[in-house]
Structure 1
Amino acid sequence: MSDFGTFFLPGPTEVRREVLEAMLAPMLPHRGAVFEALFARIQDGLRPIFRTTRPVYVSSSSATGLMEAAIRCAAPGPILSMVNGAFSERFANIARACDRETHVIGGDWHQAVSLDVVERALREQKFAAITVVHSETSTGTLTSLPELAALAHEYGVAVLVDSVTGLAG
């Protein structure tokens, strides 16, 4: 086993010719008018997907980078991590690495964490946020977000969602 862990990357991935050709063009300066117009167009296109009128933050990082950003930007307090696969486990490990008190629930890598288990944890302790992977591709498990969000909001807890393969898929 390597020291780098396990990577869950698709591949090989076919890329359309026009995409490859576009990659040969010079980079757009990120402080120029052309980039600003492109970024505004991306924002306008993403808002309906996220069902919001607010800004959608775009990052050039992997999902792991956004997981860390979500943890670091969460309100102070303990994190409740719903774990049912490799990516949700990664989210919990990131919370720990960010020196957040982290409580893991679940652990069965082949089924969604029961909302009864989530509610029991929320009754027992006050949490700043819950981490959840919407579509856990390492196991094929889907977590229903509307019910989870309603429960979390009932307890005043933010929900930090990784939905790389769930959103608009």
Structure 2
Amino acid sequence: MSFENKTLIVYLDGDYRRFKAVADLYQCFDRGDAHILITSFNDQNELRGQIDLLNSNYDFIDERHILTEYYSTTTYNNAIEIEEILKRLNYGHVIVVTSQYHIFRTKMIFKDRFKYNDKFKFVGVHHDTTFIEYASEVVKLGLYLMRNYKFFTKDKLLYSKSKYRTKSRLTYQ
């Protein structure tokens, strides 16, 4: 299946505050020209606990345009899963939305994985960031630069225990 003329807006899990930017970007497109990919939409996803996607603030988002991915546990895994999705659904453009403090590492990982593919754009969402978030980012950047990042996962691969794992919309596309 090919969506060459469509844009995939990727919400990287990790901070529910990024979703407002995703929704704002979605509104900039004509109806049907953009889809939203929520990664990793497992039981521990912050978006589940903070924002109800079905509330009236997001009525403009067509639920048929929301794809979900459950397998990623790191930014590196996000890139791998998105690569698999793009092999099947071939979007013409991809906008990756992440936090400003996270954008440097995200760009580095995606550019390494996709060999500087020009279909990718990156949006950094600015919000109050804690010292712990910055410190965590420095550690993760160090792990990635040492090429150990791909072995680092969070929460013992929570996606394997997720009750939502088998319900990915990608299986219905």
TM class by shorter chain equals 0.3 to 0.5
TM-score by length of structure 2 reads: 0.37
Higher normalized contact order (CA 8 Å, seq sep 6+, divided by chain length): 2
Query: Between Structure 1 and Structure 2, which shows a larger proportion of helix residues?
Result: 2
What TM-score, normalized by structure 1, do the two folds share? 0.38
Looking at CA atoms only, which structure, 1 or 2, has the larger radius of gyration?
1
